[in-house]
Amino acid sequence: MTNLFAPIKIGDLELANRVAMAPLTRNRSPKAVPNDLNTTYYEQRASAGLIITEGTPVTQQGQGYADVPGLYLPQATEGWKRVTAAVHAKGGRIVTQLWHVGRVSHVSLQPNGAAPVAPSAISAGAKTYIMDADGKGTFADTSEPRALEVSEIAGIVEDFRRAARSAIDAGFDGVEIHGANGYLIDQFLKTGANQRTDEYGGSIENRTRFLLQVVDAVATEIGSGRTGIRLSPTTPANGISDTDPQPLFNYVAEQLATRALSFIHVIEGATGGDRSFQYEGTSFDYDAFRNAYRNAGGTGGWMLNNGYDREAAIEAVESGRADLVSFGRLFIANPDLVERLQTEVSLNDPDRNTFYGGGAKGYTDYPSLDAAA
């Protein structure tokens, strides 16, 4: 049996296999509260070694898309309790992804219609998902952001800490901090979005400061062994870029290595696209990134993501490039993906028309092998 389906312990988390469910925004939680449909969706996928939930905003300010579940309302925590209980009843493990989108938002989603916040007042030039005047989901241009004052940043760090505590109260086995895909932490890291001249801008050490403050706050609150982080060194998602990502992320790796985290979740290349994508005029060596982490003493599980299939995932684990591999779109259409990968049977094809918003169709109605039989 390949190690892809063997148990593994990462930090404080003991997992039945090394197939993780990647976070997937599905826009089916009105008023930011998880519901019965969400519970069914995650329960169906409990055979994953680890479920990482869809991005979960730590505050309303951190929300960038309509109908995503949050972790800043008491009723949301209660909703998540039903989700985690259902997954645990099936023997699964589940963490939630703590999210602040920064500039990737729209005024209609922000408190009092305010401008989204960012390291610098630079537009993402991206699209987001909002509700139109008729209450129907639609895509719209992100709104122009404003630059955060230094005095505001500690409050956002505190929002992450508070949300991490709520996650544990809701029964989650841990959390994943979202530091990828052009959202707020990634915006602070990368030169294309961060033009600050204070202690949060300029040098690599300064641009990394916010990330490390969030990691330390969360790990201190819930334990480093229940804390993971997602990073995307070269993705262009949401208009993000960097002039020299290798030294930046090697430094990030070295710093994270000293913090005994549960796992590092790495998106290779362009999110949802070319796994070999690199920013124009730059190069990036993912092996060097991983080696920087290991050589500095990092012991967390190394998880890879982006368009992996069965063969590529097995190769990544057997070669030592990864301890775990996460799957996104394949888990949308295949609730029993682990069994399908193990037995090498055919996979359901995902319906892209039902990825965002809606009800059970394209969400909880994909057939399992048992149902097909």
Q: Are 47 and 89 in contact (CB under 8 A)?
A: no
- Residues 6+ positions from 149 with CB-CB distance below 8 Å: none
Q: Are 194 and 241 in contact (CB under 8 A)?
A: no
Q: Other C-beta atoms within 10 Å of 307: how many?
A: 17
Q: Which residue in the block uniquely carries the two structure tokens 């070694």?
A: 49
Q: Other C-beta atoms within 10 Å of 176: how many?
A: 32
Q: Are 27 and 67 in contact (CB under 8 A)?
A: yes
Q: Other C-beta atoms within 10 Å of 152: how many?
A: 11
How many residues appear in the chain? 373
Give the 3-state secondary structure of residue 7. coil
- Element (H or E) spanning 330, and its range? helix 329-333
Active-site residues, by number, are 183
Structure tokens at 211: 């990330």
- For residues 97 and 178, what is the distance between their CA atoms, to the nearest angstrom? 6
The alpha carbon of 94 is separated from its chain's Cα centroid by a whole number of angstroms, namely 13
